[in-house]
Amino acid sequence: MVNYCFKWECLCKLQVHSLSRRPSSSQRSMMMFGKISRQLCSLKKIPWSCDSRYFWKWLNTVFNKVDYERLKDVGPDRAASEWLLRCGAKVRYCGHQKWLQDYNKLPGGSVDRYKIQEIDATDSCIMDIGLDHMVGLEHVEKITLCKCHYIEDNCLQRLSQLENLRKSLLELEIITCGNVTDNGIIALRHFKNLKYLFLSDLPGIKDKEYLVQVLKTALPSLELKLNLK
């Protein structure tokens, strides 16, 4: 069963940075959720029900929505960082060893100073509607998608269409993403510079041998590591 619950700690830490200009409607909505989150965190675990499932999916959809005005104002790396962190992922910037996961510790200063080099989306709620945040990223070399319950074939297909990511991505790990099937993995053949691919615990994959053949043909220098049944 797909787990639709969003991480409590991400809700607790969410706080939109104040800006000198008047906040956009999307930013005002995020400010509102920042206040609501403090009340949500005071609650105990919500019993599983259809109502709570759809509530969390709706909330995660809001967190993934692209604010194109914000994207234009602060640039792709900053906007993508905000999106990834509020969805529970973490990032590492070029020239930095430490990972950043706390939304409230997003760096200030020049928007061109921090370029995303690695993304670890473990247990995050990133989904297809948020992937436009990645269009302008030019330095992403590694992505880890682990226990990403909203990642489906169309997400991998969308990622494989991003020209900048096709050029920069060197390593990709997809682990325990139950909605990924053969069709999504086949799309990865478009990452012509991909050097390492790790696939593990993906029950949606049915023809492992065919996938190996397709990927090895398209990417002869690829190191492919599989942990599939």
* DSSP codes, 138-159: ----EEEEES-TT--HHHHHHH
The half-sphere exposure of 15 on its side-chain side, counting CA atoms within 13 A, is: 8
What's the angle, vertex CA 105, arms to CA 101 and CA 110, rounded to 5?
A: 110
Which string of b and e fits 52-64 if b means at least 16 CB within 10 Å? ebeebbebbeebb
**Average pLDDT, 10 consecutive residues per value, the chain (229 residues):** 42 41 49 45 46 70 92 94 95 96 88 92 96 97 97 98 98 98 98 98 96 96 95
pTM assigned to the model: 0.80
Per-residue confidence (pLDDT) for residue 44, from 0 to 100? 37
DSSP H or E stretch at residue 197: strand 196-200
